[in-house]
Structure 1
Amino acid sequence: MVNLAQGMVERGIRVDLVLASAEGTFLDHVPAGARVVDLRSRRVLRSFGPLVRYLRRERPRALVSSMSHANLVALWASRLAGQGTPVVATVHNTMSQSTRRNGRLAAGLWPRLLRAFYPWAASVVSVSRGAADDLARSSGLPRERMEVVYNPVITPGMLALARQAPDHPWFAAGEPPVLLGVGRLTAQKDFPTLIRAFAEVRRRRPARLLILGEGEDRPVLTALAAELGVADDVDMPGFQENALAYMGRSAVFVLSSAWEGLPTVLIEALAAGTRVVSTDCPSGPREILQDGRLGALVPVADPNALAEAILATLDRSPGAVPLDALTPFMRDTAVDHYLRLIEKAR
């Protein structure tokens, strides 16, 4: 959302970033021309009343919402505010996978909520074709009403960040190749499969594994690396402000996720010129990697297949990614698409 706001600000459009609670490191990256509106709500659902008041007071041209709970609040608030503010509701994940893992109640309730609220949207946007298809199947909403707009991942300043030197001794000259994983240490990212695959890679050749991110699975992952005898070659230094610097110096970027919506980190790795290997999870990797032409795709939760793909990729010379493969993920492409949707809602 910050990248989208930056692109709109650069075109002279007034942008408010309306947040349930204005906190977090991303605030440091809010573009200078955008105004942050803090609704001072501890939870998204509690921001409903403040959002209604904001819409009545400011009467914005359109409201672009992001993530499932925020979409419902935005649609409901816009309807109650009575100002006719069109809502572009954006879905960032594979709905069936997300709701299934939140329990049977959520799996049954969410489709009903989507069918009730999403028809109020001027546009429903999914960040990948796979996520849009899944949303239609799991909610019963018409697929033809859904737009696909890839996240505005690639920005003019991105490549400069990728060229910076990462602060880690494993990138020194003469060290073994580094495999890189990035993401929250949670079940969705399935880093146990990556560590098991790495153990097989390490058995057959020198290599090291870095996993950037934090989350509740850290103790499990640490124990697994020790159990497999690769603890000395696995490091999890936590969240890093500039993960692109690590991508730019890594031998292979590996996405081991069980599910996604559109994995931003996979796009960033390609843009940084890094060779990639990914699970063929729902949704996004197959679209990003053009059915495997830009990087290997392997079955979900298959450490052996992942290890073989990593080994084959390490033996392959890096090649430049065609510009047209990255264009759909550029910021200006997404800004153009969202502005067309907003204009259409008039």
Structure 2
Amino acid sequence: MLNRHILFYIGDLGGGGAERVMLNLLQNLDRNKYQLTLLLHSEKGAFYKKIPSDIQKVIVCWKTGKIHFLYRIYQLGNAIKKLNPDLVVSFRTASNIAVSRAKFLTRFRAGIILREGTNTISWLKIKTKSFFLPIRKLEVKIFYSLADKIIANSDGIKNDLVINFKINSNIIHTIYNPIDFEGITKAIRQSDNSPYTKQEHEKIILAIGRLDPPKAYQDMISAFSIIRSVIPSRLLILGQGSLESEIREQIKKSQVEDFVKLHGFVNNPWVYLVNADVFLSTSHWEGFPNALIEAMACGVPPVATDCDFGPREIIHDGIDGFLTPVGDIKYIADRVIELLQDDELRSRLAENAKNRVHAFEISTIIQEYETLFDEVLLSSSKRDETSLAY
């Protein structure tokens, strides 16, 4: 099965976790087996310039507004027909629904795999008015069920799709997000200096993620106010998003503006990680947090909320990090303080964290993706042969 044509589809290559996973796949899939094309709606995004040069990029500009809804779906389907791939692999919930609609309406021949990395039920609740929620749930059920396979990036995501959307579990496969240890090491070596100056006796707490509601930065700022009252420390937050102004306002109201820094999106977060003392995540929901496993790969012990989904599949509480109840500000602060005050504990958890995440090494995860791709490609070929016979 040589040089089968796989089309990857996502709206844009912004700086999020799904985009990073897609970029890792584009960089590492076997070119002796696959011809790769990337379909986007925009050239914008932090990762766009990192797309490998051998990959064909196709931009389909969408018109905005509800009146153009069906036109956009037909436009997407016709673009896929023209490119004539053997397999379409879609990332992100909105893109997944769009590509399934396009296949239903335009009947392009390629098989489809939907990769879901979001707590879908929680995502719908913040994106949809309560009256329309049952309709949106039905929409996900119908269009996700049209896929040949669905990739969930955690068992929690898989269970969410089965329980809340009644999707057949047999078409859903859990494949965790990959870690490129070699790439991280190279990125760290390429930077000669730490991006920040660490004061004597000062501890650094690092957070990475979009400045959006699921990350619950309001809890993080509240917890840091407690931590700072006990231990000289700074909180560095890497990421950009819709809530930046609200977060800045809370930082000011909490009177910690001298000790909290919003760095925005950074291309090389690992040089921040290797100099951090603790990684902190206060999310109310997740899919499978890339930043968490990357922090552990850099030997930074994590404190993360035991939210749906992901952290409990990564962290063994008290062994390679700490899990905390969601929204429990005092408990979160206490666990961070415990780590910062106990050098031996912090060192032990850091070493265990590095060992834990070797299970997500990129070569292992890429092989899992390729195995699933080959399965769907073989099944699609048999369908095509059957159709020709008739």
Q: Tell me the TM-score normalized by structure 2.
A: 0.82
Q: 2:111 maps to which residue?
A: 86
Q: Is the 8 A contact 2:149 2:171 kept in 1?
A: yes
Post-superposition CA distance 1:205-246 (Å, at most 9, x none): 111111122233233322322333322111112222211211
Q: 1:225 maps to which residue?
A: 251
Judge which range, 212-221 or 258-267, deviates more: 212-221
Offset at 1:298?
0.2
Post-superposition CA distance 1:286-329 (Å, at most 9, x none): 11113553210001111101111101122223232467632442
Letter in 1 for 2:166: G
Q: 1:317 maps to which residue?
A: 346
Offset at 1:81?
4.0
* 1:170 aligned onto 2:193: no
* SS at structure 1 position matched to 2:29: helix
Offset at 1:257?
0.7
Q: 1:51 to 1:166 in 2, by over 3 A?
A: farther
Distance 1:292 1:73 in 2: 42
Q: 2:185 maps to which residue?
A: 159
Distance 1:135 1:59 in 2: 29
Offset at 1:269?
0.4
Q: Is the 8 A contact 2:298 2:354 kept in 1?
A: no
Distance 1:320 1:312 in 2: 17
Letter in 2 for 1:26: F
For residues 273-312 of structure 1, the aligned pairs below 5 Å read 273-291=299-317, 293-312=319-338
For residues 1-346 of structure 1, the aligned pairs below 5 Å read 1-9=22-30, 13-41=34-62, 47-102=72-127, 103-163=129-189, 164=191, 168-171=195-198, 174=200, 176-291=202-317, 293-314=319-340, 315=342, 316-318=345-347, 319-321=350-352, 325-345=356-376, 346=378
Letter in 2 for 1:130: G
* SS at structure 2 position matched to 1:120: coil
Corresponding pairs, count: 345
Q: 1:301 to 1:31 in 2, by over 3 A?
A: same
Distance 1:160 1:242 in 2: 10
Post-superposition CA distance 1:318-343 (Å, at most 9, x none): 23246763244232222212222222
Post-superposition CA distance 1:188-209 (Å, at most 9, x none): 1111111111111111111111
Offset at 1:132?
1.0
Letter in 1 for 2:333: A
State the Cα RMSD in Å: 2.3
Distance 2:132 2:300 in 1: 38
Q: Is the 8 A contact 1:286 1:292 kept in 2?
A: no
* SS at structure 2 position matched to 1:170: coil
Offset at 1:258?
0.7
Offset at 1:38?
0.9
* SS at structure 1 position matched to 2:264: coil
Judge which range, 46-55 or 281-290, deviates more: 46-55
Distance 1:222 1:69 in 2: 29
Judge which range, 8-17 or 232-241, deviates more: 8-17
Offset at 1:134?
1.2
Q: Tell me the TM-score normalized by structure 1.
A: 0.92
